[in-house]
Every structure is written in structure tokens, then in C-alpha cells.
Amino acid sequence: MSHRILLTGVTGQVGGELLRSLASLGEVIAPARGELDLTDAASIRQLVREVQPRWIVNPAAYTAVDKAESEPELAYAINTEAVRVLGKEADRIGAGVIHFSTDYVFDGEIDTPYHEFHPTRPIGVYGASKLAGEEALANSRAPHLIFRTSWVYGTTGKNFLKTILKIAREKDRLRVVADQHGAPTWSRDLGRLTAHVIRIIEKQSADSNLYIGMSGVSGIYHAAGAGETTWHGFAVAAIEHAREFDPSLKLAEVDAISTSEYPTPARRPANSRLSCDKLAATFGWRMMDWHDSLREVMAELEPTRREL
């Protein structure tokens, strides 16, 4: 199998892992920011028409949750309008679209994991702009998959894990929120999932039109780490792993606090747990338990942890 794949957001955590995982599937075109301006519809159209991809994989997003409250136009430009254009261009050429979304489309007020059928109710600009992007892609009529994920982290880029490990070496105590529940998701797991799904769909399509190959499977899927914890639990586990690697390392103790003790411009969902049963039933893929992924990520970070 060899197809042309247009990949956005290659400098991001998920984009970098996708560049690795998709390489075996064909020619991956991964434009830099200077080559693709997601705030410019004309730039998007021109690139898609030049590349003529079989697949468009879009992990690129405006993810500054707090800053989005004061920059709604920019958040909507990237998270909604760019997705709308990608969907329309994909429909025009018959390309499949894989797009990444977020748990922030929910308000976090239920007590059980969210399924794809649960009503959406974002409580901030970021979540609202991502939900509008989902709707824009669905309305484009392009064959598509939307992977909602949560608490993404890995060995590259800025993320909660790397921040915690850095600060833990600089301070004696840390205060981390313990009443927001979810599951950390390894960016590499998302990359592997995407390649797995494309392989399955291409096998079903037998190089025919993707409208046929994706018939019955297009839509939204939850794809987040298995298990559950809190930000406090994640921080404690990460520091414990770091101590196992180097027992002599002096690291901070972690105190549990409430969300109200750590106010932010944008509200966060108290419950970010996502049920991934539909993903497993449709594509036979089970996301890694966050304990297992954390162990692997920490093992990769260990040789360079002093540089974090």
C-alpha cells in the first residue's frame, strides 16, 4: 500500500508521532508552518489541490485553552474554519480525513465515562471551537474519522508530564489539582492507532473510492488512554517513576488541591473520562492503559531527563 498523505501540525506532539507511524503507508507530505497557514483558507485550498492526497490527517489545533478566552477569533479560525476548508477540499477530491478533537467538547458534569452519543456542552472557547470543527467536518460530506482524545503527553513538545518533572527538581512541594478526572494519552498510541485504522480501511477499500471503504465507519470515536486518574495522581506517578530511575534524586512532594484553589481563565471539565468501546468494536484497537504508557515514556525520557 502506498498513498499520498497530507499531515498537518507536524511540529506538535501528535503530529510528530504521526509522521513516524504513517511513513510506512506512503508518501507523507508534512508542510511546515510557513508552507501552510491554517488561518488562511486560500493557503489551505492551494496546498490540498497541489498535493492531491488520498488522506488528510489533521492533528493541528489551537490548544491554548486559557488564551483562547481572549483570542476566540484565532481559536475558531484554526479549530473550526480550517477544518471546514479541509473537509470541503477532501470532499472535492474524494480524500479521507482523520481529525483530532478533545474531551473539552463536554462539560464534565456526569459521573461516568463519556460515550460518543452523550450530548456535548463545551464550557469554554477552546472546547466550543473544537466542537464547531467537528460539526464543520461532518457537514462537509467528506469521508472522515474524528478521534476525541484527552490529556495528551509524550517525550516531545510541551506537556504536563515534562513540566511536572522539571518543576519537581526545582521545588520542595508542588500543588496539583486532584478533583479533575481523566486519563493521560500517549501521543505515540494515537499515531499507531491512526496507521492501524488507515490500513484496515484501505484493505476494505481495495484502492477504490474512500466513500465506499469508509461507508458505515465515518464519524466520531473516543481515543484516550485506558484507566483513570487525576492530575494529582498523574504527577505523583510520574515522580515515583523518576525516583525509581534515580533514588538519589531530590524531587518535590505533591500536595492535592481542588480546582477552586487553582483558578484559571478557562474552566476545565471535572470529568474527562472517555469510553473507547466504539473504537475497540469497530477497529479492534484498545488504547494503552496510562500506567503502561507512562512507564514507556519515562524510560525514553530517562537518558535526557536532566535536560528537561
Q: How sure is the predictor about 212, in pLDDT bands with cuts at 50, 70 and 90?
A: confident
- How far is it, in rounded angstroms, from Cα 263 to Cα 142? 40
- The pLDDT of residue 48: 97
CATH class belonging to 3-158+185-227+273-289: alpha beta
pLDDT at 9 over 60: yes
- The pLDDT of residue 2: 67
Taking all residues of the chain, what is their mean pLDDT, rounded to a whole number? 95
- The pLDDT of residue 154: 96
Residue 174 bridge partners (DSSP): 254
- The pLDDT of residue 175: 97
DSSP state of 92: H
Residue 76 three-state SS: helix
pLDDT digits (tens, 9 = 90+) for 223-273: 999 999 999 999 999 999 999 988 988 999 999 999 999 999 999 999 999
- How far is it, in rounded angstroms, from Cα 295 to Cα 66? 29
- 262 in active site: no
DSSP state of 55: E
Q: Residue range 21-37: average pLDDT? A: 93
Sequence-ordered list of residues with C-beta below 8 angstroms from that of 92, at least 6 positions apart, any chain: none
Q: Is the dihedral of CA 6, 8, 11, 16 positive or negative?
A: negative
Q: How sure is the predictor about 307, in pLDDT bands with cuts at 50, 70 and 90?
A: very low
Name the H helices within 119-257: 125-139, 160-168, 187-205, 210-213, 231-245
Q: Residue range 205-225: average pLDDT? A: 91
Q: Kindly state the cell numbers that stand for 273.
A: 473520562
- The pLDDT of residue 308: 44
**Which of 104, 114, 126, 221 is labelled catalytic?**
126
Q: How sure is the predictor about 303, in pLDDT bands with cuts at 50, 70 and 90?
A: low
Q: How sure is the predictor about 304, in pLDDT bands with cuts at 50, 70 and 90?
A: low
How many C-beta atoms surround the C-beta of residue 154 within 10 A?
26
- The pLDDT of residue 10: 95
pLDDT at 85 over 90: yes
Q: Kindly state the cell numbers that stand for 297.
A: 515514556
- How far is it, in rounded angstroms, from Cα 281 to Cα 279? 6
pLDDT at 198 over 60: yes
Q: How sure is the predictor about 3, in pLDDT bands with cuts at 50, 70 and 90?
A: confident
Residue 100 bridge partners (DSSP): 147
User: What ranges make up the beta strands (E) of the chain?
Assistant: 3-7, 26-29, 55-58, 96-102, 144-149, 152-153, 173-177, 181-182, 185-186, 219-222, 229-230, 253-257
Percent of the chain with pLDDT over 90: 90
Percent of the chain with pLDDT over 70: 97
pLDDT at 197 over 60: yes
pLDDT at 157 over 90: no
pLDDT digits (tens, 9 = 90+) for 115-153: 999 999 999 999 999 999 999 999 999 999 999 999 999
